[in-house]
Structure 1
């Protein structure tokens, strides 16, 4: 084949050169896209596993918090129940309770109560709010109010 024949063939089939270049580029692009797709799938699988792990940790923390909260509420309710005062409704119940060890400490005899009142009176002798005469009884035959 001479140079003239090769030039004639090239002029006639010039479009094959860019087509071969485009096919080569398509082949390299497909392999590159396949590699990147595989990489993205691997990363997506890893992230999905991490998200599932984080979700499980969050659910475990919520369960643990719910059980701790229930235990704390139970403990708080038990402490409140232990601090509830004993409400005595009858005189006989008071006498029976006063005979127990706990009742002897809680039920004060009348002279102890009067002793507390006397102590209060001693403590507040210099109090100007109490010295205004508010503790004194009113007379029954006072003057009628002005009309």
Structure 2
């Protein structure tokens, strides 16, 4: 035992060096593990970003295709559409030429007759049917529709 103590007194400095070397080896292994973990995370994030970019480009491409299709469809419908006024006027003329349309559609002389009737009714001295004067609005009443 004395020989071991004598050896320990001579080589006491080797103990801290061995402890430092062992700590360095453990730290090196842990650092390698951390580096591998970071590399794996970086690779997964890079792949995820690439997938997101591909999805975004696909969505933009699909939107552009839908937009061009919708624009072409709208342009085709617009080109195929007849002007509404001409079509309506022609429809009224065709309907007025039929026997049922002649009875319903008014000619210019009948329109003038209705205007004359309106003028006669507006000249009536008692438009309220003999019940007295016109109803005056209430100034304190709230405005209608509000």
Which TM-score bucket, shorter chain as reference? 0.5 to 0.7
Q: Who is 2:69 aligned against?
A: 71
Q: Gaps (5+ residues) in structure 2? A: 97-101, 123-146
Q: How many residues align?
A: 109
> What TM-score do the two structures reach when normalised by structure 2?
0.55
**Root-mean-square deviation (CA), in Å?**
3.8
Distance between the aligned counterparts of 2:28 and 2:92, measured in 1? 91
Q: Give the Å deviation of 1:105.
A: 3.2
Q: Gaps (5+ residues) in structure 1? A: 89-101, 132-147
Q: Give the Å deviation of 1:80.
A: 2.2
Distance between the aligned counterparts of 1:52 and 1:106, measured in 2? 63
Q: Specify which of 10, 13, 18 is matched with residue 11 of structure 2.
A: 13
Q: Give the Å deviation of 1:45.
A: 1.4
Distance between the aligned counterparts of 1:118 and 1:87, measured in 2? 21
Distance between the aligned counterparts of 2:36 and 2:47, measured in 1? 17
Q: Who is 1:34 aligned against?
A: 32
Q: Give the Å deviation of 1:7.
A: 3.7
Aligned to 2:107, the other structure's residue is in SS state helix
